[in-house]
Structure formats: C-alpha cells, structure tokens
Amino acid sequence: MPTVSTVRGPVDVEELGQTLMHEHVFVVSTEHLDNYGKGGWWDEEFRVEDAVRKLGALAAKGVRTIVDPTVWGLGRYIPRIQRIAAALPELNIIAATGIYSYHELPHQYEHRGPGLVLDMPDPMIDDFVRDLTVGISDTGVKAAFLKCVVEQDGLTPGVERICRAVARAHTRTGAPITVHTNSFTQSGPVALDMFAKEGVDLTKVVVGHAGDTNDLDYLMRLADTGATLGMDRFGLELYNPTAQRVATIATLCERGYSDRMVLSHDAACFMDYFGGMWDEALATAAPKWRYDHIHDDVLPALRASGVTDEQIEQMLVLNPRRHFS
Ligand SMILES: [Zn+2]
C-alpha cells in the first residue's frame, strides 16, 4: 500500500481518512516574528496550546488529516508544526514545499540558475526535491506535495520560474501539486496550460481556490483536464458566501464531478497579516472562517441540497487518498 509523508512520518494512504485538503496551521512570517512579534504580539506557548485546542476540536469532528500548504512566503516553520503534531496523535499533518509569491522571485534565487551570474541548473528545483525526498532543513520531516501561485497578474517572470521549478520537481518525484489561483480573473487555465507543457500529470494537480467562483463553465473546463477543484475557502464569505459555494458543489455533483472536488477552509490557527489582532480581525471580518464550519454547517447544507453521503465520502476521503497515492 502506498504511504504519504506526514509531519510524524509515513502514513498508509488508506489511513488518511477524512482529509481537509487546504488548511494552514500558522501563517506567520519568520522575519516578521523575529523582528516584531517576540516580546510583542507573539506568545509561542499560548499559540501552540491554542493550535492544539483548535485542531483537537477538528479531529473530534472526525477529520484525520489536514494538508498544510504553508511554504516559503507564508512562513513555513516545521519545528513548531512538529510540536502540534506530537500533541495530536489523532491528526495527521501533511507538509508542503514550494514558494508562495504573487510576483517576484525571492532574491536568493535571482542570481543562480541557467544563464545567470552563477550559470547552473536551477537550484530551486533541487531545494524542492530535497524537501520531498530527504527532509525539510534538519527536521527529518518530508514534504509530500508542491505549492505555487498563479494570481491575477499571471505568469510574471518570477512566478513563471517558480511554477516551472514546481513542475520539474513534480516530474522528478511524482509529488502532487496545489496551485493557488484567482478564480475572479480565472488564472486556473494559465497554470494548467503551463503545467501541461512541462509534462505535469494534471490528475495530480489541485486548482486551489476554484470554489471562490460559481461559474460552472469555468469549473467544468478545469475539471475536464483531469485536475481537481479546490473548493477550499469555506467561511470566507467575502469571496463567496457558503450558500453559493454549496449550490455550486451540489450542481457539479449532479453533473458527475464529485470525483474532481476536494473540500477545505484555507483557515489558520493564527495569521500575522493583522499583526497581533488575528482573533479580532476574524471575529469582525470572517466569523465563519473556522476549521469546524464544514462539519457543522456545510455538510448538512450539502445533504439538504441532494449531495449523497457517497459523494461526500468521495470529496473528503477518496479524492485526497487518490491525490497522495
Ligand atoms: Zn492557503
């Protein structure tokens, strides 16, 4: 039976169980934290305990695995995630590699690569492959998938180099990909066309944030490539209200697409985008953006819209298992 790398080590894919395919534990820039958080808005012990409590409550709903696409650019810091994973043996956390950038390449890769000051094979690809096959830094934790972004400005030179490096790390290792897309500007096909030209197996790609739109033609066009739709921002009502997200999924299930969708919130225990005022920002702007929204509100609404238990099992268990097999 195939296994998948998790923060605690390899797990049989049959044991992943109910899986939320896009949840962050922390989105905290290490530079922001080291320079402004310590002694200020960041309390390490409080935040770790808070995360264990929030994710423990999610596990109590029946979720066995979360897939965490926090990479460089979002503040990936695996030792803290290892503490959470050690405290929650009932929950698997799957880590990612890649780079989260809407425009620029990190300067650390600007001068190394084909045709650059240091003319050499792209070191980004080797770094991603190392995370997937050897481990992230000195943690011993292997990433199990790749993450990149194609936002409204499309394939800027920086984004294109990152996405092509992700594609090549995929073709070298077979690791699946989650690409953050902008459904309002419909950047999904830009990402998939580029991946296809790079030889990526599109059945191993999740088009992240596809669920922000209710444009069925757009969603079916993406799904018909073999890619999986990330219906993954439940609770972010600002982008698309829950009732609309549910109606779109129900219609796609009716049309036979339940094998091409996964569910999630894109939530986090703490994000530093609001300085230390995460809990206040959440309560004001997005009170439903919590890890338990899907189990408390969305699944009953899907059932009431005619989605069957088999289709829910497909989206929560079978599609994630296939993605990591
Ligand atoms: Zn995210």
**How many angstroms separate the alpha carbon of residue 117 from the centre of ligand 1?**
33
Distance from residue 86's CA to the centre of ligand 1 (Å):
23
Is residue 40 predicted with pLDDT exceeding 90?
yes
Check whether 1 has a pLDDT greater than 90. no
Cβ pair 252, 210 in contact under 8 A: no
pLDDT in tens, 270-280: 999 999 899 99
Q: What is the pLDDT of residue 31?
A: 95
How far, in Å, CA of 121 to CA of 216, rounded?
41
**Res 152 pLDDT > 90:** yes
**Mean pLDDT over residues 77-106, rounded?**
98
Q: What tens digit of pLDDT does each residue of 286-305 get?
A: 999 999 999 999 999 999 99
**CA 22 to ligand 1 centroid distance, Å:** 6
Q: Which pLDDT score is estimated for 221?
A: 98
Percent of the chain with pLDDT over 90: 98
- Collapsing DSSP to helix, strand or coil, 101 comes out as coil
Quick one: pLDDT at residue 192?
98
Kindly give the distance from the C-alpha atom of residue 208 to the centroid of ligand 1, in angstroms, as a whole number.
8
Strand partners, 9: 6
Determine the distance separating the centroid of ligand 1 and the alpha carbon of 196, expressed in angstroms. Answer: 23
pLDDT digits (tens, 9 = 90+) for 180-191: 999 999 999 999
In this prediction, residue 73 carries a pLDDT of 97
Mean pLDDT over the full length of the chain: 97
Contact 29, 100 (CB under 8 A): no
CA 177 – ligand 1 centroid, Å: 13
Please count the CA atoms within 13 angstroms of the CA of 269 that sit on its side-chain side.
23
Distance 95 CA to ligand 1 centre (A): 12
Q: pLDDT at position 255, please?
A: 98
Exposed e or buried b per residue across 207-246, where buried means at least 16 C-beta atoms within 10 angstroms of its C-beta: bbbbbbbbeeebbbebbebebbbbbbbbbbbebbebeebb
Distance from the CA of 146 to the center of ligand 1, in angstroms? 13
Longest dimension (CA), the chain: 60
Asked if the model's pLDDT at residue 175 lies above 90, the reply is yes
According to the model, what pLDDT value does residue 214 have? 98
For the segment 193-204, the average pLDDT, to the nearest whole number, is: 98
**Residues 168-205, buried b or exposed e (16+ Cβ, 10 A)?**
bbbeebebbbbbbbbbeebbbbbbbebbbeeebeeebb
Average pLDDT over residues 153-167: 98
Closest-CA residue to 323 (of 177, 222, 225): 177
pLDDT at 318: 98
